[in-house]
Amino acid sequence: MTTARRPWGTVTPPPRLRHAAQTMRIGAICEWKVNAHYRHLIPLAALRERGHEVVYATEGIDEHDARSRPELLRGCDVILGYRALEPHEVKGVVTAVQRGAAFVWDTDDDLSTLPRESPYYRRSGGLHAQRIFAQTVKTAREAHVVTASTPALAERYRSVGIARVETIDNHLASGAASARRRGHDGVVIGWTAGLEHASELPRIPVVETLRQLLDAHPQVRVETLGLQLGLPPERYVHRAEVSFGKLQEHIGAWDVGIAPLADIAFNRTRSNVKLKEYASAGTPWLASPIGPYAGLGERQGGRLVADDGWFDALDDLIAHRFARGRLGRRARAWAKTQTIDGAVARWESVLQEAIVRRREQG
């Protein structure tokens, strides 16, 4: 998935000053991953709307193209860093802190628990993952406040001695919950599944269930974004990559979105943003009762499914159009409460707290 390129050191001047006395100059540097939208770009855009300046020290179209100039962080009041920063980026952050900036470091994954089935395991798992985690802990120790996407992930960093960790959920962009639905024939089951979801397949009978449903219901089709499931091509669409801006367009053409998660350590620190993405397009969802999805249900537009219950749960929604419609309306209503508009004040508060902590250190 991709995003638009920003010029080096872009300073986004505030369109209006709502909190002039507390206006911050925020430096932004990140590991360029898809979820940087939720943890970095969307919160920063919302902070700009509240009257703060943003200086982008990372530029790119995708993770392979991303580059950074950490020297642009000098002169900022506070720096928001995301995920595993390179040594020269950490050095740039430390230099800016020595010159008076505060530092907030944010994370949304615990790579130290990456399962062997993940296609990323060879390059990011095992001992390498432990080294990456250790490096992120070193970065976290430089921060005045650490933010994490889930309580479980926040606790992971507290367990290694990071004292000040704040949990802030992933939130949708402003207006995302008004995404349009697309008409189509039949019933489409969709799954946005990054390649790391290969770890679900040996543990949950996703592929077998979908094959059975295709056999049982001639009107059913399946679409996946990311992971290839090898289903019959005449009724299955696989897209290896979809730009972030086109994601809701695809989800809006699905009748049911699925979110199977195996009960493994890596998944327990995940966020529930996939369900929010489904909900933003009015797409009812089915999810495993694991980690981020535990406690959600029909009020949020979906149902929780045990590992051995996927066929029955999908079969029921395929057969009941009105139930899908009811859940879809509830999903949309929930999504409207899950946009950055309701969370930007927390990001602002954390950044301001970091500034206070930096000043207290002298």
Q: What is the pLDDT of residues 250-275, one digit of tens each?
A: 999 999 999 999 999 989 999 999 99
Q: Quick count: other Cβ atoms within 10 Å of Cβ 305?
A: 23
DSSP reduced 3-state for 101: coil
Element (H, E) at 180: none
Residue 62 burial (10 A CB sphere; 0-12, 13-18, 19+): middle
Confirm whether 11-174+340-361 and 176-335 share one CATH topology. Answer: yes
- How large is the average pLDDT for residues 185-206? 94
Residue 309 burial (10 A CB sphere; 0-12, 13-18, 19+): middle
- Give CATH for domain 176-335: 3.40.50.2000
- How large is the average pLDDT for residues 62-88? 88
Class level of CATH domain 11-174+340-361 = alpha beta
Model pLDDT for residues 216-237, shown as the tens digit of each residue? 999 999 999 999 999 999 999 9
pLDDT grade for 247, boundaries at 50, 70 and 90: very high
pLDDT grade for 3, boundaries at 50, 70 and 90: very low
Q: In degrees to the nearest 10, what's the CA dihedral of 146, 149, 150, 155? A: -20
Mean pLDDT of the chain: 90
- pLDDT reported for residue 178: 86
Encoded tokens for 128 = 């390498």
Measured CA to CA, the distance from residue 283 to residue 322 in angstroms comes to 13
Strand partners, 147: 106, 166
Model pLDDT for residues 109-141, shown as the tens digit of each residue? 887 777 777 666 666 656 777 888 899 999 999
CB neighbours of 225 closer than 8 A, spacing ≥ 6? 190, 191, 192, 193, 239, 242, 247, 250
- pLDDT reported for residue 20: 40
pLDDT at 60 over 70: no
Rg of the chain over all Cα atoms, to the nearest angstrom: 21
Q: Quick count: other Cβ atoms within 10 Å of Cβ 258?
A: 26
- pLDDT reported for residue 1: 37
- pLDDT reported for residue 315: 98
Are 144 and 354 contacting, i.e. CB atoms less than 8 angstroms apart?
Answer: yes
pLDDT at 291 over 70: yes
Q: What residue ranges do the domains of the chain occupy?
A: 11-174+340-361, 176-335
